[in-house]
Structures are given as C-alpha cells and as structure tokens.
Structure 1
Amino acid sequence: MLACFKGARTVLPRHLRLAALAPVRHVATKATTSKAIESESTESETTEPKTTKPRTNNKKPPAYYSKLVHKATNDVSERLLNIGLWPPRRGSARKGVPRGDRHRLNIVSEDLCDDIVKYLGDSLKRHEGCDLIDINPGVGVWSRSLHEAVKPRKHILMEPDEEVYAPFLGDLLAKDGVELVPKHGIIWRDLNETLNDKLPHQHIPDKKETPKRNDTLLVSLNLAYWPNKSYQGFSCVSQMVLYQVLSSIRTSTLFQKYGRVRMLVWIRDESARKVIPRTITRRKRGAFEAHLSLEYAHKVAGPDTPELRTELRDWAINTESARNVIQTMQKLGLTPPPGRETLMYKNLMSDPELLNSREALAGTTRPRLEKPYREQLEEAEAEYLANPGEKPSDHLKYLRLRERTDQRDNEKYLELLQMRDTMMRIGRSDPEFAKLEAAYNDKALSFKKNQYNMWMTISDNYHIFRQEEPGLLWDQRPYEPLVVNSREFFPNVPCTLLDLQPKAVHPLVRGVESEHSADISDLLLKYWYAHTHQPAYKAMDSIWPGFGELYDEIPSLTDPALGGSLITGEGVLRTRAINTNQFEDILQAFMGWVFRPSYATLLARLTDDESDEAKEEARTTALGSGI
C-alpha cells in the first residue's frame, strides 16, 4: 500500500501525503481493528485531517485518527466524552478534569449486554446468589446486566478511577450487597487484600486436593485498552495480565485459590486470538498452556474480522467447523439476535443443503486458503470484463498463473490427505499400508520448499481438526460468537468477551507432591514451542538423549483414535500438532523415566538451546508463574 504513494511525493502537497501515509504507518499491524473502525466512521467523518505531522508511535495515535474513535454514540458515551479525558491531549491535565486511565475501553451499549446475557442463558443460572468480583467496571453497563442475571449476594466493584466513574455507578451502588473498592484489580496485592477482606463466605481448600468447580464465585474483568498499554517491555499489559490470570489456575492463586472459578473477560480481539487461535500456526506456548488449564474457552461476542494472513486455514475445515457448531446450536434452540450473526453463520443458513449435510468437507475437497491475491484476481477480472476488446494486463496474467499453480498444488495436497485417511483407517497390519506409506513419503518429499511448507501447514491443521475432540479450543466452541459493533464501545473500538472455565489441571502440571514436575512441564513447553516443526520423537530426544526411544511406548502418540499418527517419515506427528492429553502423557513418561536428569541439569541444557521466540514467550508468561 505504501508503494502506491511513492510516485506522489512530487505531485501531492505535503499535508495530503502525510494524511495518506499516516493510517498505513499507524494501523497496518492492527488490521482487524482498523477495518472495524473505518467501516463505522467513513460515512460520518468528512473533516479533512489536520496538517500537522502525525505521530507514528502505536501508543499515541495521530489526533485526527483519535477523533475517529472518540465519538458519542449514545447517552452514556456522550457523558464520557463530556468529562474531558477523551480524546487524549498533549501537555498537563486541564483544570476540572478528573484523573483517569484514558486507555480503558468501556462497554456502553445496554442492548449488547442484554443480548449477551440472554445468549449465555442457563450457564449463568448456576451462579445465582454468588459472590461477584467485578474488575474495572467503568460505567457499569455490563456490570448492571450481569448483576441482574446472577443476583449476587456480594458484588465487589474494583474501580481505581472512582472520581471518573462513581457518577455512573450510583444506581448500582444503591443495591444491597454492592460495594465500590477504589483499588486496582490487576495489581495482585490490592486484589488479594480485597479477596481476603470482602469474601467471608469463601473458603480456601487444601492445595493438595484436586480443586472443585466453585460456582459461588464469579469474576468479571475488563482488560480492553486502546491504544494498547505497554508495561516493562510488554507491548500489551492486558495480554500479560491475562496470561497471569490463566497461570493462577495451575498454581491455585488469586481467585482460583477458592476453587475453579469462572471468568468473563473483556479484551481486544487480537489478544483473544492468542488464547483461542484458529489455526495451528498461531497456537503458541501461551495458548497451549491455557488449553492445559481450561475446560473451555468460548468467544461469546466480538468483531467478525476476516482471517489474517498468518491465520489462514483450509476453507473446508473452517466451513465444517462452523457447520458442526450451527448444528449444535439448532439442537439447543440457540439463535443469535438479528444483526449479530457472523458472516459464516449467514452463509451456512442460506445454504440448507450444505448446512444439513453429514458428509465431511475437509479431506474430500481440494484445500483452499483465502490468500489476499484472490481479491486482486477478482478485481482484475472484473476490470478486464468491463473493458471488452482490451488485452489482459500482465498483472492479470500473473494472477491467473498463480491461481492455476495453486489449484495444481491443492490437488496434490488432497491426494495426500486421502492417502493419510486410508492408512489411519486400515492400520499397519494391512498389507497395503507399507505401499501407501512409501508412496505418501515420496510425494511429500517431491515438493519444493514453499510447497512443502504449505503442505505441512495444511496437514497439521487437518490432523488437529480431524480428531474425536478437535485439538483447538476454537473448534470446540458450542456456538458462533455474537457480532459486536464499534459504536457499542467508547472509545469506538470493538472488543471481545471471553468465557473461561478452569478445569482440574493434571497433577504433574500443577506440581502437587512431585519433584519439580511443574517446573519441568514449563521447561518442556519452552523447548517444545521453540521447535514446532520437529517430529515429536526428535523433540523428545533433544530434550534428553534417549528419551525419544519412549515415543512408541506412549500409546496416544501412535493411536489415531487418541490423536496419534501411524505414519512414519513425512506423516509422523510433529510437535505443534500434539494435543494436551498427549503432552501430559509425554510429561508423565519423562517423570517416570529411569534416566531422567536432575532438574538443574535439564534447566542448564534446555536454557542454552532456547530460541529468541521462546524467550519472548517466556517473558510474556513468566510473571504468571510466580503469582
């Protein structure tokens, strides 16, 4: 996009060049959010941008861009805008303006909150009469809806910006059992003090016992900020806090010390996708750790953003996954309110034949990734048809060639997927297995580098999806998320609501009565996610020489019914494609291995081999381990 402005430098005035380039510099890495903002603001925003040079720091957007997301859309946002905190201004605070966090996003739509409460339905009824910890309630629109739904015996509002938000919370504070605590709920010292002082009905079980689900306590957190708040080298404090909260499940700290406590978390969508990735390539260590600790993680509501280039997955898997979800919704009688349907939901509902089909899509049709060039191809074809008599442009010829090449490659990928399924079905005892395996490996090795990398992505995504229980939390969702609108938030940036229910974490991952098992689990995951393309047996052997020999002794790694692979060579299970049960089996095998090294020795070995990516991931989750 920047390239199209290079030739304009000597033609356009300076202020127009800056206006054109600023959004690209500023918002390019936030594509999903910028599209949502742009769609809501193009019709009403006609003022020409200021001619002053915009800042390029993501933490401080240029003034004209800030105006696009600081618009009053209802009475609540009008009151917020009149406070004087928004939009942010340079210099010292003005007189009469209360001090407060200008980065915090507020939910300002009662309709959205009512739709969410109705959508969650019976799942909230199990919390009626509970204690409700409400962190960063802000204007309290979401807090009121949640209060009416669960009717808590105690509702603690932890709001550090009391001066800003107290006028909005008057009617809620007038209710019985509601109390405002002017402390930071994401500063753990303040949170622990509040938990100890304000929850007389809660009791802390013995840490050696397996934690039980505690429906008498419910937590709501607002971790949504715009722009993202950085903290001590972390680009986004909300992501760091979320990882810490998830780590508290394993360590039974914070509110998880009272049992397995459900959490409803508002956060920006790009942060939510790091916890609930939609493709194997985006499942990093933090997402895998979350899966180890959570019974479920649902995206209840959020923007319906298109796939990112780094999150592309076969359209057949996406469609089959959504079809399974909608069929489940129909059995439950669950329907999203009008206007809150995702595009995938609309498309499937408009095609009853596809929706009601029981036949598999993935593995029976050519894989297809919605790559960005296809939009260019459609536009170029439309332009060519609109000008009869003209020859196809070189660009159109190139795009057509690329499409034909992709189709040929996709045919090969489909053939390999079908060979894989046949081998998984017949088993190694069948005489045909060896022939199929040899042909499979020959075809996979014949690919060029880019083809091979694409094949690995398609294969691993297919493998993790085609299991009795899909290996990604996203594919386990029971419903399609509700679509939110940027006008329902202030500033006008859409957010996502996550519904997180902890599970009983494996004893070795928790580290209960075992020698450094929790620490060893962390070390293995660090190494594991620094070598995601390695075969699992090689990764095991790299952890400690000889450990890879136990690969065949762990049934879940080679049993297709448990997510394993019978195929050797190019069809062997790769590290990024293992599921949580398989990792727990590997950890258990390592802890019981007679040649297991001491923790100190293992730490020295794996730390030396740690990659830069793994170190960055470790920084993001480190504080959570020490809560």
Structure 2
Amino acid sequence: MGQSGNTPSKHPYAYRSQIVSPRLCDDVLDYIGPSLQKYKGCDILDLNPGAGLWSEKLHQFLKPRSHVLLEPLPEVFGEYLEPLVKKPGSKFRLVQGDASYFDGLEQLLREGLFPHQNPLPAGSVPSREPNTTLLVTGTIVWNPKHPGLNFFSMAGQMLHHFIRTSWVNEGYHVCGPVRSLLWVPSDDTKFALNKSAMAVSRTSAMVDKVAAVSEVVKPGHAQDDRHWVREARYEIESLVRAMQRMEKNGVAMPPHRRESIHAFADDIRKMTNDTGVMSTGALNDYLQAQEEAGVLTVGLVPEQIRKQWLWEMEWKKRAPPPPPIDEPKKKGRRPVPEEQKRLARARASATRVLKVRTALDELVDFGYSNYQLELKIAEMEDGPQKEAMNRELDALMADFHEKVRNTDAHTRPSIATQLDERLALRSPTPLLQWDRRAYEPLVMQPDEIYPICPVSLLDIQPNIRPAEETDEEYEYLQDMASGLLTRKSSPVGEALETLHPGASQLIDQVPAIRDPKRGGRPRVEEMRARMLTQEMIAGLSKAFREWPFRNPDANHPRYFRIRISGGSMVRDTIESQ
C-alpha cells in the first residue's frame, strides 16, 4: 500500500487490513446480488473504507443516490478515496469520522449526513420495519488486533454494538433498522454467528433475538481451537443440509470458492444416501484415506491423529526394505531407529484418542436412541402400551446415566455436549442460525486481503420487532437469558432453581419446552439450558414476571445480571437505580 502524509507507522490505528481482490468482490456481489436488488439507489454509509476497493465495487453494483465514506484517517487513505470523490457526477462523499465513537456516529445521522433519511426523535417508539433506503458496510479489521473495552477486540465490541442497537434504533439504526455488510476478523464472528451448541451464550442469545446473521465469506478451513468448533461429523452433516437447501433454491458456489470439505461432503452424501450422517470411526477412515491421497484434512480431525497419519506415510516411504532371504541373521537385538520410536508413540497416542472418541460416539448413540424412543412415546395414545414403553425408557435412561457416571471424569462432559450438538442440528427447527443457513460461505484465499489475516464478511439483517414488545419486556427477556445461560450445561429445571427457589415449576407454564416439534423434550429433566429456544426463553421470562412467589427485587429488569455480577450487593444496586 502506498503512503502519503502521515504514514501508518505514525498511526497504529491505521493498521487495518484491506480487501485487495477485485475478483472476491465480484464473486460476493454475484452470490448475494439477488437479495441486494431492493437496495439499488439507496444511501450507503461506508465505515473505514480504507483503500476503497470494496467500496467502489459495491457502489458500481448498487448505484446509490449517496455514498458516505466515513474514514477516521483521510490523511492516510485519502490518496485511494479522493479519486472516487472527484469523479464527475460522483455520489461519493468523504467524511472524517470514527465509527468506534458510537455517540458521534448517531449524531452525524441526526445532523443530516443523509438528507433523504429521517432520524427518529429521541425517546420515540422504535421503528418496527427495516429501512431499505440505507445500507451500512465497512471493514472493521485491525492487524494486529485493536483492543476493545470489555471485549477481546475493538472489532468485536463494534460488532456487538451494531447488532444490539438495531432493536432500539440507536447508532446508525436511528433512521430505522438497517442491513449491514461488515468485514470482520473471523475470530470475532463466534458470538454473532454461533456454530456450536457448546458455545451458546447470553450474547449469542441476544444476537439470535435481534438479527439474522449470515456468513457470506470465510477464510479457508484452518485448524481452529477445538473448544469452539464441532466434531467433524456434525460439521459435515450441517454442511450437507446447507448444500441440500442451496440445491432446492437454485444456488451454487463458484468452483474456485469451494475447499476440500465441500468435496468431502459430496463424497459422504453418496456414501450415506444423502443424509451426511456418519460415525466418528467411519469418518476417521474416510479422512485418513483422503490425507493419504494428498488432500489436507486440517481442522477436521485432532492433530494427534493427523500427525500419526503423516508419520505413517513418511515411514512407509523411508523404511528400509526387509533383508534378502539368504542373508544370515545377525545375533542380538538391532537398535530401533529414533523415527520408528516416534512413530510408535504417535500410534499409541492416536489409538488412545480414537478409542476415547469411539466410546464417546457409542454413548451419544445410546442417548440419541433414547431420545428417539421418547419422541415415539410422546406420539402414542395414553394406555397400557404407552405405560409399558415408558417403563422400558425408564430402564434405558437409568442404564445410560449409569454408563455416563462410569465414564472418565474428563470425558464425561463431552457426552452431554455431543448429544446436544446432535439434537440441536436435527431438531425440526435447528437451534443455531448456522444450521439454518441458506447458503455456504464463499472461501477466500489468504492473499485477497492485506495485511493477511483471517476475515469473514457478515450479512446482518435486523429481525422485525414484535409490535407489542416494549423496551422493558426486551430487557426482562435478556435478563432471563443471561441468568439461564450462566448455567447452560445444567438441566433446565436445575438452572431455574439456581436463579430462584421454586422457579422450576415455571416449566409447566411454557408448553414449548416439552414440545419436540418446537425444539423441546417431553422428558424435560434430560434437556439442558443451552437447548432453550428464543420462544422458550421468552415464555419463561413472561411466566417469571407473572409468578407471585418471586423475590420483590426481581421486578428489576436487570435482576439476574446484577446478581451475576454483584452477588450480595444486589439490593443496594437495585435501590441505587
């Protein structure tokens, strides 16, 4: 990147990664272009445009009536942006401003940044309908990361704020809830687009409530932290379902935007009668064959196993041939080469890992078969046969829980986690937005952004707010979600009892919790708090507010959040407010 005026070395804030691939921009606009047709001729608010390539491409596609480039450092990036502004008849306007200064961003819109927009008066009833006359885009990627306040990064803090404020018409949503196309660090997408039941949190619950989030572009399938991503079998099953939806809707990924996991999914569809369902052992064998054929499986199997495969292949290439038959055998033991010792250790480690994963798989299969029997019983008419089936299920559940108790303490939590992953994915309405995605993200190459770092493009579309919902009701709902999901691994009843003694009886006031068609379980004692849907959380929030036995302090809309953060200081905090 060229430099002018004050160089980035004098402005640490200027170290922002830039999209530098015209082809990537074109592919994105071809891919999601149909959904952008309604925005042609709109206003565009462009945050941190930087080098301006994405800004120019989006502008050419939408032909907006105005396009404001809100750039905090025009002295650094002006040489790229000024030519756009100075073109004859240009709709571009370069404005110096910092998108991370949230109050200032709203003030700009209130002061007439866009003459055609009508900011809502402060304190007015929030707009219920999306504003399709304004589109926000931007690149909020710093490399290295720019720290945030109570967030891992500034990008994460900004993303959280932009999503949250759509519900209350603040920030750049002051003219009504607007759609956003934001380039963000891939690490910071975890709370906005949760890809695992294990990672469900109060923040992800907030996002699910207020916005529909899609990942349009992602980096290649690099080795991720296994704490945050799924077992490969569920990742591929989810991918297969997304591919089926794409085929139904006539959507196709450009071949050059696919990666190895998409080819794996194609194979596995053929191997599983188009279900994508495959055991850990069978998938392990398939992926090993792929690795041996020279196709990388990074990020889909534990590295201990993958390293063992690589060493096995290397050993086969380098191992000495057996001695000729007529060669006399030497006395004594031959020294074992160090590489052979290393391979033996790798085999032992991989065998242990695979053994644990296979045993875990078998227990999850057992738990899932019990769940399927539970659903079958729920469909039966009351009578002797149903009673007999319930007794059978009681025995099976007892056997399952006994086996779980006898499992190694380090492995035990994974049983519930993996079972919930399966239930979340296969629910009539999948729990996670990711599992309901309409399309697969396009895969970008490392050199399509500079400086190189893993980024994603998120398409964030605010949900329509119910007309009857007040700001206070929204706060109560978020408070209930925060309280429940601090105990997300606990059964729902236990999580409620932790919030308030006796609160487990509220389950009976929310029919969805026991309804399998709405993501519930007839045997609610087997359902963990992280499996609660937005409908269920809203029902529990309403039931709790109407419950005559609640603590008087619980009338406060932030009661549980104050308890979580303040402990014994709850009453003082509430009274001070």
Query: TM-score scaled by structure 1?
Result: 0.76
Asked whether 1:424 is paired with 2:375, we answer yes
Q: For residues 414 and 490 of structure 1, do their structure 2 counterparts lie closer, same or farther at Cα, with a shift above 3 Å needed? A: same
2: CA distance between counterparts of 1:472 and 1:604?
25
1:390-419: per-residue Cα shift (whole Å, max 9, x none)?
787244234324423432332232122122
1:609 positional shift: 4.9
2: CA distance between counterparts of 1:474 and 1:235?
22
- Greater shift, 229-238 or 494-503, is seen at 229-238
Q: Of the candidates 364, 380, 388, which is equivalent to residue 413 of structure 1? A: 364
Q: For residues 415 and 566 of structure 1, do their structure 2 counterparts lie closer, same or farther at Cα, with a shift above 3 Å needed? A: same
**Structure 1 match to 2:412:** 452
**Structure 2 match to 1:511:** 470
1:351 positional shift: 5.7
**Structure 1 match to 2:174:** 257
* SS at 1:493 equivalent: coil
**Structure 2 match to 1:377:** 308
2: CA distance between counterparts of 1:540 and 1:506?
26
**Structure 1 match to 2:515:** 559
Within 5 A, what are the aligned runs for 1:560-599? 560-569=516-525, 572-599=526-553
* SS at 1:186 equivalent: coil
Q: For residues 264 and 597 of structure 1, do their structure 2 counterparts lie closer, same or farther at Cα, with a shift above 3 Å needed? A: same
**Structure 2 match to 1:51:** none
2: CA distance between counterparts of 1:139 and 1:598?
56
**Structure 1 match to 2:117:** 202
Q: Tell me, yes or no, if the aligned pair for 2:269 and 2:276 is still in contact at 8 Å.
A: no
1:284 positional shift: 2.2
Q: Tell me, yes or no, if the aligned pair for 1:533 and 1:576 is still in contact at 8 Å.
A: yes
Within 5 A, what are the aligned runs for 1:259-298? 259-294=176-211, 296-298=212-214
Q: Tell me, yes or no, if the aligned pair for 1:348 and 1:354 is still in contact at 8 Å.
A: no
Q: For residues 303 and 414 of structure 1, do their structure 2 counterparts lie closer, same or farther at Cα, with a shift above 3 Å needed? A: same
Q: For residues 247 and 361 of structure 1, do their structure 2 counterparts lie closer, same or farther at Cα, with a shift above 3 Å needed? A: same
Asked whether 1:442 is paired with 2:393, we answer no
Q: Of the candidates 502, 509, 512, which is equivalent to residue 546 of structure 1? A: 502
Q: For residues 573 and 599 of structure 1, do their structure 2 counterparts lie closer, same or farther at Cα, with a shift above 3 Å needed? A: same
2: CA distance between counterparts of 1:441 and 1:506?
43
1: CA distance between counterparts of 2:278 and 2:176?
39
2: CA distance between counterparts of 1:567 and 1:317?
24
Asked whether 1:211 is paired with 2:134, we answer no
Q: For residues 193 and 404 of structure 1, do their structure 2 counterparts lie closer, same or farther at Cα, with a shift above 3 Å needed? A: closer
Q: Tell me, yes or no, if the aligned pair for 2:138 and 2:183 is still in contact at 8 Å.
A: yes
- Greater shift, 234-243 or 302-311, is seen at 302-311
Q: Of the candidates 429, 434, 455, which is equivalent to residue 469 of structure 1? A: 429
2: CA distance between counterparts of 1:503 and 1:496?
21
1: CA distance between counterparts of 2:281 and 2:545?
43
1: CA distance between counterparts of 2:558 and 2:172?
34
Q: Tell me, yes or no, if the aligned pair for 1:535 and 1:575 is still in contact at 8 Å.
A: yes
1:446 positional shift: 2.4
1: CA distance between counterparts of 2:113 and 2:506?
51
2: CA distance between counterparts of 1:469 and 1:279?
15
2: CA distance between counterparts of 1:260 and 1:167?
33
Q: Of the candidates 282, 304, 317, which is equivalent to residue 220 of structure 2? A: 304
Within 5 A, what are the aligned runs for 1:336-347? 336-347=253-264
1:250-270: per-residue Cα shift (whole Å, max 9, x none)?
222122232221011111000
Give the letter for the 2:485 counterpart.
Answer: Y
1: CA distance between counterparts of 2:12 and 2:53?
18
- Greater shift, 423-432 or 186-195, is seen at 423-432
Question: What is the number of equivalent residue pairs in this alignment?
Answer: 517
1:138 positional shift: 0.7
2: CA distance between counterparts of 1:604 and 1:217?
33
1:152 positional shift: 0.9
**Structure 1 match to 2:237:** 320
1: CA distance between counterparts of 2:500 and 2:34?
49
Asked whether 1:190 is paired with 2:104, we answer yes
- Greater shift, 189-198 or 307-316, is seen at 307-316
2: CA distance between counterparts of 1:463 and 1:438?
21
Q: For residues 373 and 84 of structure 1, do their structure 2 counterparts lie closer, same or farther at Cα, with a shift above 3 Å needed? A: farther
Give the letter for the 1:377 counterpart.
Answer: Q
1: CA distance between counterparts of 2:523 and 2:304?
34
Counting aligned pairs with the same residue, the percent is 23
2: CA distance between counterparts of 1:209 and 1:247?
13
* SS at 2:146 equivalent: coil
1:360 positional shift: 6.2
1:453 positional shift: 0.8
* SS at 1:505 equivalent: coil
1:467 positional shift: 1.5
User: For the pair shown, which has the larger CA radius of gyration, 1 or 2?
Assistant: 2
1:504 positional shift: 2.0
Q: For residues 195 and 568 of structure 1, do their structure 2 counterparts lie closer, same or farther at Cα, with a shift above 3 Å needed? A: closer
**Structure 2 match to 1:482:** 442
Within 5 A, what are the aligned runs for 1:127-206? 127-173=39-85, 174=87, 175-196=89-110, 197-204=112-119
2: CA distance between counterparts of 1:314 and 1:232?
32
1: CA distance between counterparts of 2:353 and 2:403?
20
Give the letter for the 1:439 counterpart.
Answer: L
Give the letter for the 1:511 counterpart.
Answer: T
2: CA distance between counterparts of 1:605 and 1:198?
39
Give the letter for the 2:42 counterpart.
Answer: C
Which stretches in structure 2 are left out of the alignment for 5+ residues? 285-299, 323-335, 568-577
* SS at 2:46 equivalent: strand
Query: TM-score scaled by structure 2?
Result: 0.82
* SS at 1:446 equivalent: helix
Q: Of the candidates 144, 162, 165, which is equivalent to residue 227 of structure 1? A: 144
Q: For residues 178 and 406 of structure 1, do their structure 2 counterparts lie closer, same or farther at Cα, with a shift above 3 Å needed? A: closer
1:205 positional shift: 5.4
Which stretches in structure 1 are left out of the alignment for 5+ residues? 1-76, 94-98, 614-627
2: CA distance between counterparts of 1:360 and 1:351?
6
* SS at 1:215 equivalent: coil
Give the letter for the 2:83 counterpart.
Answer: D
* SS at 2:60 equivalent: helix
2: CA distance between counterparts of 1:577 and 1:557?
10
Asked whether 1:403 is paired with 2:359, we answer no
Give the letter for the 1:297 counterpart.
Answer: V
2: CA distance between counterparts of 1:293 and 1:374?
41
Q: Tell me, yes or no, if the aligned pair for 2:130 and 2:177 is still in contact at 8 Å.
A: yes
Q: Tell me, yes or no, if the aligned pair for 2:512 and 2:536 is still in contact at 8 Å.
A: yes
2: CA distance between counterparts of 1:211 and 1:545?
37
1: CA distance between counterparts of 2:160 and 2:560?
22
Give the letter for the 2:220 counterpart.
Answer: D
Give the letter for the 2:94 counterpart.
Answer: L
**Structure 2 match to 1:18:** none
Q: For residues 283 and 568 of structure 1, do their structure 2 counterparts lie closer, same or farther at Cα, with a shift above 3 Å needed? A: closer
* SS at 1:225 equivalent: coil
2: CA distance between counterparts of 1:522 and 1:297?
19
**Structure 2 match to 1:624:** none
* SS at 1:531 equivalent: coil
